Structure 1
Amino acid sequence: MVNVEFGASTKDMWVIEDVYPEEEAEKIVNAQKGKIFGVVSGIMKAFSKQKGSISITGKEKRYEPFWHVQGKSTFEYKRSTGYSFQVQPEVIGVKINGKELKTQEGKPEINFSGEDHCFEQYEKELIQSAVTGENKGLNFYLKSNKRKIKSTSELTKSGSIVPIQHRASFLVSTLVKDILKPIQADTILQEKIEISQLDLYFRPVYTFELTESDTKRTKIVEVDAVTGHVEKVNTWIKGIKDRLTTEATWFDVGTEIAGAIIPGAGVAVIGGKYLKDKRAEKKKFGKARRMQVAYAKNKK
């Protein structure tokens, strides 16, 4: 069974701080009211006798959650492997480290068995919306100013939280499956997974409802409080705070992780008589260099 370890800094919650406060966000929306309702609406107004206005009829601040998960797997093991090399036709034996190895009859070839001492390490990072599961552009927010919060009650005083659809269990199990690699081993010296980062972030967004006074048509837009970007949306989440699941369930990863690493899932295959297919030389030597560096760091 692979050991899964969680770092001391995991399971923290952070809120990204506003760059554009509510007043600035409202100015951005007012400057783009005509564009928000479209060119056709503008033309119709130009020929209409009733000159209706566009005004903001509703607004709220909301926090959109996303996950940041990092982890790595480490495998150290030994396996028996058969090796061979070609010799000149006249060679009947080769002495290596004081031991003479004989060629096989009729074959200019030396065969011998050895024990491989192997080390593999794989890393993975996931940054993903806790609402849609997408990761487009979320890396940017990790570099923004932020502050740690102990409870989401600090956020609901000033806004609403978009309900979380993807909990930590989904991301961690996905990450674990990606960094668990099948190994061919006779003896396993070390196999573990370290989750070094498991944080939930909340990015601030201001949502505005705009209404045309003459047609009563409405549009909903959001202004990213960090970038100032304006986008039309179809959701208005006022009054759905009660649908939020509890914070404890957001970080619950036990059952899913156990399912990802149950015995027999192919994490370690005992009996190392199998050799992997040869890869391209460039990839093979590149991997060897990476693993040697990782092994040296692991032993410090």
Structure 2
Amino acid sequence: MELRLPTPHAFVVNPTLQRDVAQQQAVDKRISIVAGGLSGLFSRPKPEEIDLAYAEFRYEAFWHVVATVRYVFERNKTYTVPVTGAEVRKVTVLGQEFEVVTPQPQQSQQSPAGFLQQIGQQIGIAGNVTRTFNLPAVEYCIDENRQERFLEVAAGQAVQNGADYVKKDKTELTNFATLSAEGALIATPQMTASKVLRTLLATMTKQLEADKVLEEGTTVETCDLYFRPVYAFELAWRPKNKTAVVEFDGVTGAMINGKVMRSGGAMLAPEALFDVNADNIASLFPSTVVNVQLVS
């Protein structure tokens, strides 16, 4: 298996919604956020009863990977070709002669009429039986599978809007320390590049039904890491001792019921995140794939 790898990149998706604007929206909508599904005049909070208890700015990371697995191979195949004329005994194809055969009758007890039909099949006069000849051939095959994935760094779950995020305005990240410069929190990544590719390629490689393999290659077109901004605000309704968290997507501006992380994890060094190298490329594939070679 030949393996081609891309130059990896890390990006920060630039926000369209700024943190202070998101916080003001949370404060302005605090009654509906805290009240949730409550109804009735006496069950709804008053604006002065709700405090902004906690504000959080964090980055949520995901991988964008694109890979193609390509097989070119040959396999021997015998084609069964039907013949329409009952009188045909032989067929010549490209100078090679093939004998027309009649399907063998099933060995079972039959009526006299069935016995006569069998005789007719054997001598080629039964019109309702398809007679054939066998044509040996070599099939030249190309099996190509291209997959694209957007997977969370935290647990490897699919990112619903990943295809939209990567099309947004972004800035290439050259120094990971800048992510926390403004107090942003980041969860400790669990899915490194090797784990993501291993998960993807396990679904793409296959055992071939082939007599001769001419080409066997995997091209990883993209293996990029993205960080998108998220703002979360915890609102407290003091008289009821109730809290609610609202979350804003800094890229799309969407508001949802969310969560807070409160404390960040340890950010891995770039070489620990982009951990694919010549020494571990074989581990990216299932054990059935052998002789993995890194090519440029």
Of structures 1 and 2, the one with the larger relative CO (CA 8 A, separation 6+) is: 2
Residue 72 of structure 1: which of 44, 52, 68 is its match? 68
1:85 aligns with 2:84: no
1:4 aligns with 2:3: yes
The 5 A counterparts of 1:211-250 are: 211-212=236-237, 217-238=242-263, 240-241=264-265, 243-250=266-273
Describe the shift of the 1:208–1:164 C-alpha distance in structure 2 as closer, same or farther (beyond 3 A).
Answer: same
Once the two structures are overlaid, the 10-residue window that deviates more, 138-147 or 113-122, is: 138-147
> What TM-score do the two structures reach when normalised by structure 2?
0.76
Write 1 or 2 for the structure with the bigger share of helix: 1
SS in 2 for 1:248: helix
1:263 Cα deviation (Å)? 5.2
1:214 Cα deviation (Å)? 5.2
2:117 maps to which residue? none
Query: Larger C-alpha radius of gyration, 1 or 2?
Result: 2
SS in 1 for 2:75: strand
2:151 maps to which residue? 128
Residue 111 of structure 1: which of 123, 134, 143 is its match? 134
1:177 aligns with 2:185: no
Name the CA distance, whole Å, in 1 between partners of 2:44 and 2:75: 79
Residue 56 of structure 1: which of 52, 57, 60 is its match? 52
Residue 216 of structure 2: which of 172, 176, 191 is its match? 191
> What TM-score do the two structures reach when normalised by structure 1?
0.75
Residue 21 of structure 2: which of 10, 20, 24 is its match? 24
2:110 maps to which residue? none
1:207 aligns with 2:232: yes
1:80 Cα deviation (Å)? 1.1
SS in 2 for 1:111: strand
Describe the shift of the 1:152–1:237 C-alpha distance in structure 2 as closer, same or farther (beyond 3 A).
Answer: farther
Q: 5+ residue gaps in structure 2? A: 103-121, 125-130, 291-296
1:155 maps to which residue? 179
Name the CA distance, whole Å, in 2 between partners of 1:193 and 1:116: 22
SS in 1 for 2:206: coil
Runs of 4+ in 1 over 6 A off after TM superposition: none
**Aligned length, in residue pairs:** 259
Name the CA distance, whole Å, in 2 between partners of 1:42 and 1:178: 55
Please provide the CA RMSD for this pair. 2.9
Which residue identity is paired with 1:153?
Answer: A
